[in-house]
């Protein structure tokens, strides 16, 4: 049996604006999806997914996803199955073994559907483990590329390269259009994540920003301001200026809020974090619900979030400089 893991991610800066070619900085976090893969005698796939979340729900399903024993929405299960099937197909293709069968077991510390890149981590780790089980080693770059193809297909063309690249390579990443690169020597980033247990509708949120941007010049300018803020953020990363990174996170959050992608619970968590002394806090990902990320090297923000109504889970998740990893 072969085991690989890959990290989830948060957006330090730039979600939504990245859709319009502005730069963004996703960062891998020390929360991983782990995938165990074992070849089968036949050509079938058996998937067992345990503990796909930090808190509150579990998915277990066998050969027939319809019989899954779950307390999560069906579309998440369907998506998860789609990601695993896609990863297996990529592995079969890479190893030129079109009829290879596998038993796949998934464990994840990354809340599902929370904008932390859980699917990208499962796909990256899954392709890595399955190809290695077939005796083939792919570079992190190729894993990122193949994982992106899977996400692109499952998410019907809406996927960004950021999640899969970030999960495969680890560290802080500079994304601009289809161009992804690791940022050298980022400072330690003491991320704290707060999760409201909800999931915004990414497609609708992205469409809402597009509509505002087309309707109003000042909304288009707001998207561009995010891009400029991200460029400043990259300088602050290079200068190890964690205080400025926090300030820029706060500013970025306000611009996202102006674009209509915040929510009451996200705002509540962001302000709980700031009041607790976080250097900065913002929503991360598509918004509308899901997660916030704060910077705090102390335990105050996590504790404050744990006592914040509407925050279902709060955890530390430092920058993970390692991407996909053999376990």
- Please give the residue ranges that form the binding site for its own copies (CB under 8 A): 212, 216-219, 221-222, 224-226, 228-229, 232, 250-260, 262-264, 267-268, 271-272, 274-275
Tell the smallest beta-carbon distance from residue 76 to its own copies (Å). Answer: 25
**Residue whose C-alpha is closest to residue 163's, from 118, 227, 108, 195:** 118
Distance CA 301, CA 305 (A): 6
Q: Which is nearer to its own copies, 155 or 257 (CB)?
A: 257
What helix, strand, coil percent values describe the chain, rounded to 5?
A: 45, 25, 35
| Contact present, 44 and 63 (Cβ < 8 Å) | yes
When the beta carbons of 12 and 272 are compared against its own copies, the nearer one is 272
The answer to whether the Cα torsion of 109, 111, 116, 117 is positive or negative is: positive
Widest distance between CA atoms in the chain: 60
Q: How far is the CB of 272 from its own copies (least distance, A)?
A: 8
Helices (H), 95-199: 118-133, 140-154, 161-169
What is the nearest approach in angstroms of its own copies to the Cβ of residue 229? 5
Closer by beta carbon to its own copies, 171 or else 310? 310
Alpha-carbon Rg for the chain, nearest whole angstrom, is: 19
Nearest distance in Å: CB 304, its own copies: 11
Among 128, 163, 196, 320, the active-site one is: 163
Closest by Cα among 233, 207, 153, 178 to 16 = 207
Minimum gap (Å) between residue 14 Cβ and its own copies = 12
Identity of the residue, 112 or 236, whose beta carbon is nearer to its own copies in the bound complex: 236
Contacts of 240 (CB under 8 A, 6+ apart): 187
By beta-carbon proximity to its own copies, the closer residue of 29 and 219 is: 219
- 128 has catalytic annotation: no
- Residues with a known catalytic role: 163
């Amino acid at each position: 049996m072969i085991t690989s893991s890959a990290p989830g991610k948060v957006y330090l800066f730039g979600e939504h604006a990245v859709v319009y070619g502005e730069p963004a900085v996703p960062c891998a976090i020390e929360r991983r999806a782990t995938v165990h893969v074992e070849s089968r005698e036949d050509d079938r796939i058996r998937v067992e997914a345990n503990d796909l979340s930090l808190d509150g729900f579990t998915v277990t399903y066998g050969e027939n996803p319809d019989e899954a024993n779950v307390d999560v929405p069906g579309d998440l299960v369907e998506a998860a199955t789609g990601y695993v099937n896609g990863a297996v197909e990529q592995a079969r293709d890479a190893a030129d073994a079109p009829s290879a069968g596998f038993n796949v077991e998934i464990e994840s510390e990354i809340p599902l559907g929370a904008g932390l890149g859980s699917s990208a981590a499962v796909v990256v780790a899954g392709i890595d483990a399955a190809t290695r089980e077939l005796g083939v080693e792919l570079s992190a770059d190729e894993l990122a590329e193949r994982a992106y193809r899977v996400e692109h297909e499952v998410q019907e063309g809406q996927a960004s390269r950021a999640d899969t690249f970030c999960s495969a390579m680890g560290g802080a990443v500079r994304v601009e259009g289809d161009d992804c690169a690791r940022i050298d020597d980022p400072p330690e980033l003491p991320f704290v994540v707060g999760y409201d247990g909800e999931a915004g509708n990414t497609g609708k949120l992205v469409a809402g920003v597009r509509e505002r941007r087309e309707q109003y010049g000042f909304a288009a300018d707001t998207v561009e301001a995010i891009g400029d803020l991200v460029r400043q953020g990259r300088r602050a990363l290079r200068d190890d200026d964690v205080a400025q990174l926090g300030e820029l996170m706060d500013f970025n959050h306000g611009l996202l809020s102006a674009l209509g992608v915040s929510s009451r619970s996200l705002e509540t968590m962001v302000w709980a974090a700031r009041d607790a002394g976080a250097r900065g806090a913002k929503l991360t990902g598509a918004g509308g619900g899901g997660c916030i990320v704060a910077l705090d090297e102390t335990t105050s923000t996590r504790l404050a979030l744990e006592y914040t109504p509407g925050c279902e889970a709060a955890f530390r998740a430092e920058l993970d400089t390692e991407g996909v990893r053999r376990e």
